[in-house]
Homo-oligomer: A and B are copies of this chain.
């Protein structure tokens, strides 16, 4: 369903209680952010529209001025995560660069997407295929993984990557490491910047931890 025109959303904001629980009114982006946080904390299935409205201090009607359904919020958040990752892959595949450089771009771009869209990617990685939207997201992840695995296979054929590990396994191990960021990387609670993390992940994946 499409976004309501700004004037309607604004009118909805006016109508909604602005300071219940001492909070100001929310715009669409803020509702989305809080909804995704709740989904990650409580589980998507376990989060009702009522509990989301309660958390926001909005009536369900006011919430429905921002989004047509809980599913729409899920869809937008998953699109955000998947769209980010897919754009990274498209970027890496376009232009003239060696295969190994494309792979470096994919890995570094993926780390940047994860660190900048942590809540959305967290939601994506916890999706289990319980609905059509979730199954479509899993299918997009599968296609993404396959395309990266093809890149790994090509870099192996070109002699850039070691060929004693299956491309599919190398891809899963790489993304196992990258995706683990959602479990432990908390930008607000560490001096480790996203760009340091990009460098660390790249070094471990390509050169390993051994001193040379």
Binding site for B on A (CB under 8 A): 43, 100, 152, 156, 159-166, 169-170, 172-181, 183-184, 192, 197, 200-201, 203-212
Contact = CB atoms under 8 A, between A and B. Distances in A.
B174 A209 contact: yes
A184 B201 CA distance: 20
Given A165-B203, A172-B184, 18 more contacts: A100-B210, A156-B211, A165-B200, A169-B200, A170-B200, A170-B209, A172-B180, A173-B180, A173-B200, A174-B209, A175-B180, A176-B176, A176-B179, A176-B181, A177-B177, A204-B205, A205-B208, A205-B209
A180 to B, nearest CB: 2
Nearest to A162: B211
Contacts of A201: 173
A174 to B, nearest CB: 7
Nearest to A183: B176
A201 B172 CA distance: 11
A167 to B, nearest CB: 10
B166 A210 contact: no
Contacts of A179: 176, 180
Contacts of A183: 176
A161 B211 contact: yes
A164 B166 CA distance: 28
B203 A206 contact: no
A162 B177 CA distance: 18
Given A43-B43, A179-B180, A210 B173 contact: no
A175 B164 CA distance: 22
A211 B162 CA distance: 4
